[in-house]
Structure 1
């Protein structure tokens, strides 16, 4: 389920939680997160990789 675009329906429009933030290289940060759907009815645990240089985002299901 990598590289999917998620429509997050959590009321404030954010991840339900995130942690274990680390830099992979000079441009990429990685963290674990819970993506919330249906106002917290469904939570999917993912690893998120964000490349700040090209503004790309990758979500990988755990």
Structure 2
């Protein structure tokens, strides 16, 4: 089985949350964000397929 990932997922750590907060604050202040920054804000930080895991018992 192979995965087709366009970008590696970023580790969710203190720096990840700090970057999210800074981007939200910049957006609230009316600053225009780059497309990459908007994608980062829209990313919930979890893979789409993680909620569709199959469990065998």
Global fold match (TM > 0.5): no
Question: More strand per residue: 1 or 2?
Answer: 1
Question: More helix per residue: 1 or 2?
Answer: 2
Larger-gyration structure (1/2): 2
TM-score (norm 1): 0.22
TM-score (norm 2): 0.22
